[in-house]
Structure 1
């Protein structure tokens, strides 16, 4: 599709061609920043990650992101090998090495490290964890609103792969994204195991009906930090918000819909499965939430 957009589209920035990338404590030029083909992340998707944004020299909600990183690592029995302070110092080191100050997106990745043999057992990872931090000058574009298509791929039960886990194993979401693109949409709307509307392949999902903000129960979606901030902002500003089960019928009849994520904050949705949502443009409730979130970021990153 010539006009395909994503929730992670950024303005072109030539500075990103000469980035320095953190690889296990060393700063490597972009072209030389590599990990072993025996690395657990490359070989098996065995690792966890976080995406963070820098505004005016400060990392937004960094404590929540580090909480989620260390909880995810504990869940998969992965010893990061660094304290929280050391991980934060690595972020700051990478930021300073690239002379970055604002409108920066970081992807912090930790895998189980290099394996002795190309098999899945964790005991074969003998070198300790691998940590990589990629930072890019990354100012979101303002593309047209996102078009979604419902796909057969589900956000599953926690005994398969818990959807709350921010792991490197993203194949389910990638397949959903492919299915959506084949259907002529930008991103996939995924249902939970009971058929209720849940999330997209990359972001958390909200609708607005008669001034009320609805999102899923949270049982089958990523425990998004931006998602929770939106819920908290609604509660603090007299916007009715519900975490509930709701169907595609409820969704098609919504007045507004939007996505949330660390990169794009709140991205409006124009249509779902060919049905135009509301006016098909940024709606007034979404616009108000955007303003509240922007003010929260300014408060969070104030010197």
Structure 2
């Protein structure tokens, strides 16, 4: 059976799921989206994802015609129709169809799309041995331009950095902001460990505040690991005791080399491994039931 995709209140086989070529999401990247995960019949932190989606839409003045509870049900029903218990979910809200001009007032009704499918971002080997990443020359968008805290459909900033990673043969690239502080990677937040303290960049350096990032910070504090949000440079990454990335699709993956510099002994560290183990346990128990 073909994957069923929700588009504006109806379900279509993926081959027939369509939007207008005049949709401003397609023409201008004018919209917001969420990537969400389901594990074992539960959607992980669905409400937090819905809240972030609506906050992003408010930031670009899109009035979503569904209530949050109705949007959550769209996610659950799309999973049910595809008989999925373990899945990646993509919620997309665009400005909707207008004309070829920029004026958002020409777009009368937002487009709402929900896609559910499987996703594998990195090979299993990287989770066990760690990955090597590079620093991109591309800088993170300034908050005064396209604020990274809005998960917008305009992802060209991330894609430019991803192209650099591809050309370097690396699975990920780290982005700095315009003040040379580490912000995040193309699709993941970043953490380092130094002297037993877990450190991650604060929102104001230009990051998307990740749902998985927040969950990991909560887990770390719960198991007695001190957590700090503070700025740091590439030097602090090079000289860290441990490093790992987090994201909805990636979950959490160790980093053992950055720009050719080995992190500590070149293996995933004990705090990283402990947090990854705790996160795996968390996703087994926490979430909104799909088939209740």
Normalising by structure 1, we get a TM-score of 0.89
The count of corresponding residues between Structure 1 and Structure 2 is 284
Match of 1:276 in 2: 262
Q: Check whether the contact 1:100–1:137 (CA below 8 A) recurs between aligned residues.
A: no
Instruction: Give 1:210 shift.
Output: 2.6
Identify the residue that residue 5 of structure 1 maps to in structure 2. none
Aligned twin of 2:286: 300
Structure 2 matches for 1:35-74, cutoff 5 A? 35-74=19-58
Once the two structures are superposed, the pairs formed by residues 135-214 of structure 1 within 5 Å of their partners are 135-138=116-119, 141-144=123-126, 145-214=130-199
Query: Can you give the 5+ residue segments of structure 1 that lack an aligned partner in the other structure?
Result: 1-14
Displacement of 1:186 after TM fit? 1.7
**What is the root-mean-square deviation in Å for CA atoms of aligned residues?**
1.6
Q: 1:212 offset after TM fit, Å?
A: 1.8
The one of 202, 219, 243 equivalent to 1:257 is 243
Per mean C-alpha deviation after superposition, the further-off stretch among 234-243 and 104-113 is: 234-243
Provide the C-alpha distance between the structure 2 equivalents of 1:244 and 1:92, rounded to a whole number of angstroms.
37
TM-score normalized by structure 2? 0.92
Residue matched to 2:216:
230
The answer on 1:95 being equivalent to 2:79 is yes
**1:105 aligns to what?**
88
Report which stretch shifted further, 145-154 or 223-232: 145-154
Q: Deviations over 1:207-250 (max 9, x none)?
A: 11232211112211001111111111112221122111111111
Q: Any unmatched runs of 5+ in structure 2? A: none
Task: Report how far residue 139 of structure 1 moved.
Answer: 5.9
Do 1:56 and 1:301's aligned partners in 2 also have CA atoms closer than 8 Å? Answer: no
